[in-house]
Structure 1
Amino acid sequence: MRVHCLYLLLLTALPAAAQIYRYTDAHGNTAYSDQPPAGVPGQAVELAPLNRIEAPRPLTPPGVEPEQTPPSNAPAYTTLELSGVPNGGVIRANNGTFNVEVSLQPPLHNEHRLRLLLDDQPYGLPGNLPSLQLVNIDRGEHRLAVQVLDGERVVQQSPTLTFTLQRVHRP
């Protein structure tokens, strides 16, 4: 059984070591193949090694220290809260659309984005604007918070607000 597994492994690695042949066909055209040409003199082609490029490092002007990120246990923002939504209150939006504002101190860092959490689920795409819109939200009680993201990593999250959305119901 082990011999069969070894044979299959070697067989699968065979195409990676395939040779390329160059030859001139009957019409005088240069052709390439992975099989040696039959009845025509062919020449094995030596391939150059693949290029490898290292990822560039960010450039920092001389004499300037790279920006240090705060330790993970220290909050990046001293103020992070939602406004425009009364905690424990009622919002009336007949079409279910309303805006919330994000109060943030210090201002949002360039690499950070804001994302809403509606009922503990991400809502919408992350953005860098402090005014966020919710669209066509169902009536009833909801929880709302905002997160500061660095890529996919959550840097900080605001306290969660609870509110009730009222919408007109027309039968």
Structure 2
Amino acid sequence: MRPFLLFLGLLSGFPATAQIYKYTDAAGNTAYSNQPPDGVSAQTVDLPPLNSVDRQPPNEPPAPTPIRNREQINSTYETLELTGVPNDGALRANNGTFTVNVLIKPRLQGSHLFRLLLDEQPYGQPGNVPSLQLVNIDRGLHRLAVQVIDGDTVIQQSPTVTFTLQRVHKR
């Protein structure tokens, strides 16, 4: 089996127009070669055409499905908001790490997950735990919100909270 695999490996290096010959050697083994052996009856091997794949440019990530209409949103969760972040205030976190909590009523349903948005971009991995940690966030003005998602569909989004993160400035 190994000689056959070696043979296949060698075949992959040959140009598509190379001819392959199959014959039986003196020991009775089937052998393959790119040149017909002298004094031995050899058959040409018809190989299927090589597969090729055209390189595709990278695709943009799919945009999340837009939020459903307001009637559907309001009927899903009566309360969805972030707690533990001062609204329009300052938050002190010297290492840039802090935790926010999600207040949601009723409880998170079925396959729904929380997705945190930091400065209107997804932050971290979606999950079902209503306590979300942010790590090593730069000091300055930030916006936070949480979404309830089902796959790529945004079910509902909390109001956005704007705050200033204060960190120790190292010189």
Q: TM-score range by the shorter chain?
A: 0.5 to 0.7
2:78 is aligned to 78
TM-superposed CA distance for 1:27, in Å, is: 8.8
Unaligned ranges ≥5, structure 1: 1-25, 30-71
Unaligned ranges ≥5, structure 2: 1-25, 30-67
1:102 is aligned to 102
Identity %: 69
TM-superposed CA distance for 1:28, in Å, is: 9.2
Once residues 122 and 163 of structure 1 are traced to their aligned partners in structure 2, the CA distance between those partners, rounded to angstroms, is 17
1:91 matched to 2:91? The reply is yes
1:48 is aligned to none
1:151 matched to 2:151? The reply is yes
Report the CA distance shift for 1:27/1:105 in structure 2 as closer, same or farther (over 3 A). Answer: farther
Q: Secondary structure of 2:109's match?
A: coil
Residues 56-95 of structure 1: CA deviation (Å, up to 9, x unaligned):
xxxxxxxxxxxxxxxx432210000000001001100000
Residues 19-73 of structure 1: CA deviation (Å, up to 9, x unaligned):
xxxxxxx9999xxxxxxxxxxxxxxxxxxxxxxxxxxxxxxxxxxxxxxxxxx43
The runs of at least 4 consecutive aligned structure 1 residues that moved more than 3 Å come to: 26-29
Correspondence list, 1:1-171, <5 A = 72-73=68-69, 74-75=72-73, 76-171=76-171
TM-superposed CA distance for 1:132, in Å, is: 0.2
Amino acid paired to 1:112: H
Once residues 28 and 94 of structure 1 are traced to their aligned partners in structure 2, the CA distance between those partners, rounded to angstroms, is 78
TM-score when normalising by structure 1? 0.59
TM-superposed CA distance for 1:170, in Å, is: 1.3
For these two proteins, the number of residue pairs brought into alignment is 130
TM-superposed CA distance for 1:110, in Å, is: 2.4
TM-score when normalising by structure 2? 0.59
